[in-house]
Structure 1
């Protein structure tokens, strides 16, 4: 089955793909906790997009991918959020003002009631820290603190493809929010190394990611990267904190997750999808899946089924800001 999932940050925590507007709205409201969030598609129909999300006790990260242009209203919450453009040329309007480019990390106050326009294939990340942790950023929007926050988030994104499992992902995400809070309190900026991976290591990583039919062979992988098996192992441990086989295994699990998230059939063939990626023992596969994503495969499927049920119920507030801006 071809990979139809778009490039999306935190793809191991993909929640929704090729979703209708109704499904997409139900999902983003549930994940963000904003029941009054609304959206309008520029074409009026067709798939809305994809969502990935990771939540910890320190905050939630939500990544949005737009299959087509969309206008989104923020929620009338009590806490601020950070908005980070990742691809395309998204725009933002604050307090019902004019549209302006969302060109860099932006701090949105609850009273701003932000509106966001995401173009087709555009990507935006929303970071919602726990209550009170970023309050001190309110007086220095656009200053050195936001630049420091941008650096920390960039480093987090650089490391995210190499999360070893769910515990590691949540630990690193909690650490990010703690670091952002330290910056908001005007404490010292945490040291963060965002240097690129060794090009030899990149060749190995790309082979693992881009060749789903390839069966793991350390000697072949090392030869492809241009290093010895021993050096490849230590390169990956040193620069990515993960072993070659662990990365290979995780990418296979992610591909199963893609198919489960996409599945809209009555009875999802979890065992078939697992077998296609080389997992022959269903019980062992389910345990590995939960270790890497924090839930069972059946729970991934059920989450989307629940969205489809809720979608049929009366929707929340309608979107009116764009009608005034047309």
Structure 2
């Protein structure tokens, strides 16, 4: 019996239409915390009456949203979910990560941290948000250049300049117009939402995340921050206390997390990262330069005998053999 060729089924995006409002802080916590799977949220009046309003329109690939509040709200937003770009036009919002705290500027597109839990405080605000589905962003990023099956990583502290802010506003104006005129099932909407992702990728240039796939799991978000710290500071003195501060974990939890996921201690993981960097440099060095010692010291290896033994254990050859390749 002949077999029919398999056909990929394309599931059309689902329309998103959401609106709620209220005058009670506990209802704001229920409604807004529900949208963002929030944890430990609270709300209160600031000066006078409390009220809030939230709207969202689009589809499950891109939605345009607006959040307005007379009052204050705070809480924790878990890692994962959509990429969310916000534009504050009134009020104040402060974001806190394990590595520090920063206030969102007005009239500037800002990317909320997508890959680690963060806490926030907002008061008397009016902000417009754009939610971008991760898979949709990945498809467009892949069309711009190969990304393989690795995750994208974004610098949440990057702030576009005035030209970038104008580009974002122009893209959002076109997105809103397509939504009003054609609706979320129109060709105009499909083109406009692809264009807004293109601008997003220009304003917040992603890098392909070479971290292990296991660190993409939300439960490993804090360990991910510690691993990223190791990668960013491998040439510097690094202590377990530094990793604890970067990740928001206790020293003991840092040690247990590295053992659980990598089956090595944090300092052994650091040594492996340093050895990998040494090997990369030796493979690029001139064999006549005799630079093994210099490269090793640059990556934190003060005792060259111990370094050589660790190198052989990891790569099965001596550093000078790598240099002569």
Normalised-by-shorter TM-score class:
0.3 to 0.5
Rg larger in structure: 2
| Relative contact order, higher structure (CA 8 A, sep 6+) | 1
TM-score under structure 1 length normalisation: 0.41
TM-score under structure 2 length normalisation: 0.41
Higher strand share: 2
